[in-house]
Amino acid sequence: MLTYTVPAAGEAPKLTQLEQPDPREGEVLVRIAACGLNFADLLMIAGKYQDTPKAPFTLGMEVAGTVEALGPGVDGPPVGSPVAVFGGQGGLAEFGRFPADRVIPLAAGIDPAQAAALQIAYGTSHVALDHKARLQPGETLLVLGAAGGVGLTAVEVGKLMGARVIACARGREKLEIAEKAGADHLIDAKTQDIRETVKALGGADVVYDPVGGDQFTAAFRACNPEARILVIGFASGDVPPIPANHLMVKNIDVLGFYWGGYLKFRPNVITDSLATLFGWLAEGRIKPHISHKLPLSQVEEGLALLRERKSTGKVVITPT
């Protein structure tokens, strides 16, 4: 089978032919139909991700496909049934074996590309906004990086939760995508002052920030008293300083958030959230935005789209 593998620490990944694996005890073998790419894949290649596996390993964190075989001690889902899996690795391949407790049965008719694209991006936004920030109907949510892989889902999920959503992104094309996802107000980070624009709109009650840097600072200064700031990531490459005295004066909470971390200490938070999200997907209430769908032979082009920030929403890789 064809895989996209990191052969050793510090070495560039490459397409490799490996033998099709057999599932071990407690595992499910999945014939992979689609794999969502994530910024974390780039960090794993560089050895900078907090959960980078020990090399050699196959990249690809989230997949959808069909059950090919069950390992010893596993009684389902049945062979041939559609499933989604957050495996953390192993997705950029034609087949992958994953822990059975990570495998989620899918309703018939769900597009595997959408199921693969949903898990990390929508899971991050749903758990962050619902479980962590306790976003309430009628509150104002400011989303930075609002056309990116997770930012766009925050716009959509926030709107479904009843918030007034301010979307901040760079350029008219990206803002139009955020507007289609439900944003009520738009801010062009290239031409507008984020702080002044948000304050003119009444300030932010919750900030969703996968960007960091100067945008974090501007959003911080536009927060209302008792606002909650979700630190999702640092796509700008700049980890901003946080003035603790300003937190105190305005009673602001800064909340660090790492979706995958819940699998280690409260996995039910993830499984409950994914059950909600796949229900929304089946009902047509959410529709993952996939800007590029590429075959496994072009995975390097897909990663370049993320690296150069030329994608919107998700990039999905299929076997052929």
- Domain boundaries, given as residue ranges, for the chain: 2-119+262-318, 137-257
Q: For position 213, what pLDDT does the model report? A: 95
Helix (H, G, I), strand (E, B) or coil at 295: strand
Q: What is residue 297's DSSP assignment?
A: G
Q: For position 257, what pLDDT does the model report? A: 96
The percentage of the chain sitting over the pLDDT mark of 70, rounded to a whole number, equals: 100
Cβ-based neighbours of 235, under 8 Å, separated by 6 or more? 39, 145, 148, 210, 211, 212, 309
Per-residue pLDDT of 121-145, as tens digits, reads 999 999 999 999 999 999 999 999 9
Check whether the bond before 77 is cis (ω within 30° of 0).
yes
Residue count of the chain, please give it.
Answer: 320
- Note whether 70 and 76 are within 8 A (CB): yes
Helix (H, G, I), strand (E, B) or coil at 86: strand
CATH of 137-257, one of 3.40.50.300, 3.40.50.720, 1.10.645.10, 3.30.2320.80: 3.40.50.720
Mean pLDDT, all residues of the chain: 94
Per-residue pLDDT of 86-118, as tens digits, reads 999 999 999 999 999 999 999 989 999 999 999
Q: For position 310, what pLDDT does the model report? A: 87
Per-residue pLDDT of 198-210, as tens digits, reads 999 999 999 999 9
Q: For position 9, what pLDDT does the model report? A: 81
State whether CATH 3.10.20.600 applies to domain 2-119+262-318: no
Burial 275-311 (b: 16+ CB within 10 A, else e): ebbbebbeeeebebbbbbebebeebeebbebbeeeeb
**pLDDT category of residue 10 using cuts at 50, 70 and 90:** confident
Per-residue pLDDT of 241-274, as tens digits, reads 998 998 999 999 999 999 988 988 998 999 899 9
Distance (Å) of CA 13 to CA 8, 30, 35, 37, 269: 9, 22, 16, 14, 32
Distance (Å) of CA 23 to CA 40, 69, 82, 87, 291: 26, 7, 17, 14, 33
**pLDDT category of residue 50 using cuts at 50, 70 and 90:** confident
